[in-house]
A = this chain, B = another copy of it.
Amino acid sequence: MRIDVEQAAGFLRENDDFLILMHASPDGDTLGCGHALCGALQRMGKRACAVCPEEIPHRFDYLFRAVAEQEFEPTTIVCVDVADTKLLGEMKELGDRAELCIDHHVSNTEYAKRTLVRPEYAAACELVYEVIKALGVPFDRELANCIYTGTATDTGCFKYSNTTVQTHIIAAEMIGCGAEFAMINYVNFDLKTQGRIRLEQEVLKNISYFAEGHVALVSVPLALVESIPDIDSDDVGALSNIPRQIEGVDIGICVKEKKKGVYKASMRSSERINVAEICAEFGGGGHERAAGCSFYGGTIEEAEEKIAEAASRAVKRAGII
């Protein structure tokens, strides 16, 4: 059942003992949503905890300050920024019992009993912000840090076309509430380990171009990642944005070998291409300008060939070449 912000707030007001689920490969938006909502419910005197099926990168440690650890038996499951229970990994079964989902993905499968979804919002955090407003919980610095994190990270720090007037208005309000935005942006956008710098260098050496230069692809074999000390999944994840930055490129692709025979392709695009559609051909999904899909079996070169071909076809379909 689709519900609105007031109904979501009503449901949260009437219930207690919340387990808030955030998606695997956690990003700033799901983590910001989970910790903001958990912290807001706790400030209302309720019991809540926010959990993620995978380890949370250390750069997000500041989000934990928004919540207290509480001992209780959770009864009410809420998912935030989770489009599909598949994205919950080993917590999938918990997701199947979700009473409420708050999300901004157009691909939301409406698996929860109640779904509050706004595909036109840049970040799910914008929607959690509205829910917290409706609950009447004031934004202190810690809650503001959570909401700011989601809005900034899901828009490339207000850079991308999904940013709206509302995104900036919310960011302004969160800064007014004390959000430590310079620190948040530094750890999320600028900070690079020496390992990341080496990794970027190596990856930049081998860029492949397709479709007359409108498609660029970088390849990240496991052996490369393992050859550089002090690399983490964030360092590898950040590579996804690089190929699209090259002049003339409409589709940037990063193919990573997750483990032997498992390859993840991340795609970024210009306004002219919808990469969610391309990824859907391979069972993946995401947003129009940023999406991903996985390949199983075969070699990394084979996965690269498949995705580069699909991307080249999309460039032709769009009339670019």
Which residues does A use to contact B, with CB under 8 Å?
152, 156-161, 163-166, 168-169, 171-173, 175-176, 181-182, 185-186, 189-194, 197, 200-201, 204-205, 207, 241, 244-247, 271
Contacts and interface: CB of A to CB of B under 8 A. Distances in A.
B189 A163 contact: no
Interface of A is mostly: helix
B158 A192 contact: no
A247 B192 contact: yes
Contacts of A159: 157, 182, 185-186, 189-190
26 contacts: A156-B157, A157-B157, A157-B159, A158-B158, A158-B185, A159-B185, A160-B182, A161-B181, A163-B181, A165-B173, A165-B175, A168-B168, A168-B169, A168-B175, A169-B169, A169-B172, A172-B172, A190-B241, A190-B244, A190-B245, A191-B247, A193-B246, A197-B207, A197-B246, A201-B204, A201-B205
Given A163-B175, A166-B172, A192-B246, 14 more contacts: A152-B158, A157-B157, A158-B158, A158-B171, A158-B181, A159-B190, A165-B173, A172-B172, A191-B245, A192-B247, A194-B247, A197-B204, A197-B207, A201-B201
Nearest to A209: B194
A194 B204 CA distance: 10
A181 B161 CA distance: 7
Contacts of A158: 152, 157-158, 171, 181, 185
A168 B172 contact: yes
Contacts of A157: 156-159
A235 B171 CA distance: 30
A164 B168 CA distance: 11
A190 B193 CA distance: 20
Contacts of A194: 246-247
A159 B201 CA distance: 24
B161 A182 contact: yes
Contacts of A168: 168-169, 171-172, 175
Which A-B residue pairs are the 8 nearest by beta carbons? A168-B172, A161-B182, A159-B185, A168-B168, A165-B172, A190-B245, A193-B247, A192-B245
